[in-house]
Each structure stands twice: as C-alpha cells, then as structure tokens.
Amino acid sequence: MALLSLILYWLFAYHLIRTDYIMLVSLYVGLFILFYQIFKHLRNNFKALTYLAFGFRAIFILAIPNLSQDFYRFIWDGRMIFEGFNPYLYTVESFISQGKYPVDEALALRQGMGALNASHFTNYPPINQLCFFIAALISGQSILGSAIIMRLLIIAADFGTLHFGKKLLEKLNISIYNIFWYILNPFIIIELTGNLHFEGVMIFFLVWSLYLLHISKWAWTGVILALSISVKLIPLIFLPLFYQCFIKANNNRNGVSTTHNFARLIGFYTIVITTTILLFSPFYSSNFISNYSKTVALWFQNFEFNASLYYIARGIGYMFRGYNEIAIIGKITPIIVILFVLCLTFFRRNTTTEQLITAMLLVLSFYYFTTTTVHPWYIATLLILSVFTKYKFPLVWSFVIILSYLAYINLNKADKTENLWVIAIEYMIVYGVFIWELFIKKAPKLEA
C-alpha cells in the first residue's frame, strides 16, 4: 500500500511539469480512492498517517507547479522587497514595458505569471509578503530555489495545523483522526504543497487562534487571528461572528457581567485591527490604499471563474441587458454577504467554539456560493472548518473541484474559457450534499 501510494504521487509530481487534463483527472480520482483506502486501513495509527501525509508532501519539493502561475508573482514580490521596492506601489508591467528589470530573472518571472497578473498591483497581505521575502533572501537567483523555500514554509504550516487541529479536536471531544480529512487529503497536498498556495499558512494561524479562543486566551486569539488575516484577507469575514462568544458566553453564569464581556469584545477587536494595521504599516504610502483597494475590487467586479449562483444571475441579466453583468452583480453580492453574516451573528446561537466554527463554515460557504470567482484552493478553508463540525459537503467539494480545471487547459491565456455544463455538474453535486446535510438529514459528526 505504501509503495503504491509513493508511485502514484511520483506520477502526479511528474504531471506537474506536463499538463494533461485527462491524466490529471485520472490521477486525482485514483489518489482520492487511495486516500480513502489508506485512511480506512490506518484509521487508528496516528503516527503512520502523519508520516504518510508529510512523506507525500516531500515528493513535491523539487517540482515547479504547472497548474498555477501565481507563484511567479510571489517570487517577484519577494525579490522586489529584497531590492528595497514597495511591491504594492508598482505593477510588473510598469517596469518591463520600460525595459527595466528590478529583480533577477525578471523576464522569466513576467512570462511565467502572464500578462493579466503582471498588469495589476499585488494583493497579497504583509505576512504573505514576508514568506515571499524569505524565499528571496535564501534563494534570490533561482526560481526553483525560491519555490522550494516557499514549499517548505507551507509544509511547516501544515505541521502547525496538524498540531493545533489535533489539540482543538481533543478539547471538543471529537475524534483526533478527523484532522487527516484535511492533512492527508490529496486536494490539499496538490493545491497547497504542489501548487504553492498560501491558504495553508492562513489556515494554520486560523486554527491556532480558534484553539486559543477555546482555552480562553482571547488576547492572543486576537493577535494570531490578525496574522491569519495578514496572510489572506478572507478571515475578515468571520470577525462579526465572535460577538456572541464574548457577549453571551457561559461565563455570565460565573458572575461575570455583560459589561465586562463587552469590554473584552472591544479589546479583542482592537487587538485584531491594531495588529493588522501594524503589519501593513511598513508598506504604507499615499498610493498604497488606492492601489490595494483597486486590486481587491477586481475580485468582485472583473474576475469570473468557477462560480455558481453568480453564473445563473449573469445568464438572467444577459437576457435583459446582454453585457457587463459583473459590474452590476459584483456590487450587489458583497452587500448580500454582509447581511447574511449579520443574520448569523445576531440570530443564530454562536456561543460555543463548535457553534462558532459551524457559523464560519456557513458564512464562507454562502460567500463562495455567491461570489464571482472560486479557485480550487479556496475550498481548503471550508475543508479545515468542516473537520470540527458535522458537515461533509466541503470534503465532497474537495473531490469534485477538479472539474474546474477544465479552464486551465489554456493556462497561459488570460481568457480561460469554461465549460459551463461541467461547472454545473460540480455544483449540482455540492449543492445536493449541502442541502441534504443542512435541511433534510441531521448530519452526524465526522468520525474516524
């Protein structure tokens, strides 16, 4: 079994260098079958599952990703900082178009990331930039060397997620083996370790913060949650959900006043916001906020990929107007998401850690169901949250998300044409399981 596992992962590592969609799907299905068999036979051997999980990750260390171009921009940003430039103030194209090469291998990096990425300002927060800088500091003249350093950082973060995830599961009286639905999942290994997406680092800090919250270290929770936000902005959407954990917490029964709880809530939000601002402050300039906000806005009003409800709304809009529906829908969906978050904040019980995590899962799911862009690696956050809840639909999504890679056949083209029938199949499966678990069947807890 272990030998077969290694052979299949070696095949996929080789595949990262040669893109073939049919081979990708075949290997992906095979790896999920293998994942299930490994988990089934070693479900009570924590140490063996850990060795396999990180052994599989090690196979990818020397690979250059071919399913994502983003890492070229990571390397560019890190080298810009190393050379003394503020990466938030310049597009790649602003240098290359003038024949200027501010970093080593500038032309290779520009070609690798593509014209679309090169024409926009960076949108990666400061802790993410720190990871890029570390890669530039250690290996500033080799694309492969930089990729290896970033991959090692992502693997280290997975070790942290395993450690704190296990501890949190123990505290919640849930099987510790549930953590392997994330750590050993082929989707996670391929998308994070293989394709160098830093959701894994963000997730490490998020899980750590949830563990600290559960053991009532709320001040440190704020600091670590700010670190998570400073890797990827997505945890910002969870901030309102902490309201009940402080205001309506069980310590009211122990003689702690509501006023004291409210003061702690304000202190928590102050720590999160202040820490996040301090982390961004080294990059601040008069143009920083303008550039950064414009880049973030692109995800709502310019980019379209693997969406579900948005594609339906867009299709209806085309029937009446026939053009540029994203400019209209992209302004409405954030408002709808905010209203949904507020509804769960004030009208759903979120006083325990498990209830809070479930609310986070529902909020993030709603956001991904309504947004214009859902890249495969986005599902990683849903998957880790589901480990601590009774829901399995993110696990199913981590399997069928491979269908979205049809758009990556023309990887080096900015216009990635999608097969909407295939996208429809993906979401029919996901929505089917989601509706079954949420409204029809009372889903049991994930048990190993």
Per-residue pLDDT band for 2 (boundaries 50, 70, 90) equals low
The mean of the pLDDT values for the chain is: 88
pLDDT at 127: 97
pLDDT at residue number 151: 97
pLDDT at 446 over 50: no
**At how many degrees (to 10) do helices 258-280 and 126-138 cross?**
40
> Is 97 a residue whose pLDDT tops 50?
yes
Please tell me the distance from the alpha carbon of residue 398 to that of residue 418, in angstroms, as a whole number: 19
> 305 in helix, strand or coil?
strand
Q: What is the pLDDT of residues 251-260, one digit of tens each?
A: 544 555 678 8
The identity of residue 180, as a single letter, is F
144-158, 293-307, 384-398: least confidently modelled range = 293-307
Using alpha carbons, select from 20, 114, 115, 131 the residue that is nearest to residue 74: 131
Predicted pLDDT at 275? 98
* Spatial separation of the C-alpha atoms in residues 63 and 185, rounded to whole Å: 19
Query: SS3 for 1?
Result: coil
Taking residues 178-190, report their average pLDDT: 93
Query: Given a cut of 60, is residue 261 above it in pLDDT?
Result: yes
Query: Given pLDDT bands bounded at 50, 70 and 90, which one contains residue 12?
Result: low
Q: How far apart are the first and last CA of the chain?
A: 19
Is the pLDDT confidence value at 210 over 90? yes
Q: For residues 405 and 21, is the Cβ–Cβ distance under 8 A?
A: yes
Residue 439 per-residue DSSP state: I
The pLDDT value recorded for residue 302 is 78
Residue 388 scores a pLDDT above 70 = yes
- Residue 153's φ and ψ, nearest 5 degrees, are -65, -40
CA distance 395 to 383: 6
142 pLDDT above the threshold of 80:
yes
Q: What is the pLDDT of residue 8?
A: 57
Do the beta carbons of residue 344 and residue 244 sit within 8 Å?
A: no
Please calculate the CA angle 107-112-114 and round it to the nearest 5 degrees.
100
**What's the pLDDT score for residue 154?**
98
Tell whether the model's pLDDT for residue 396 goes beyond 50. Answer: yes
Kindly tell me the sign of the dihedral angle through the C-alpha atoms of 105, 122, 203, 273. positive
Average pLDDT over residues 22-50: 80
Please state the pTM of the whole predicted model. Answer: 0.92
Asked whether 396 and 32 are in contact (CB, 8 A), the reply is no
Q: What percent of the chain has pLDDT over 90?
A: 65
Segment of 8-12, 308-312, 318-322, 325-329 carrying the highest mean pLDDT: 308-312
pLDDT (mean) for 329-336: 90
β-partners of residue 305 are 373
Nearest-Å Rg of the Cα atoms of the chain is 22
User: 286 exposed, middle or buried (CB, 10 Å; 0-12, 13-18, 19+)?
Assistant: exposed
Residues 42 and 191: beta-carbon distance below 8 Å: no
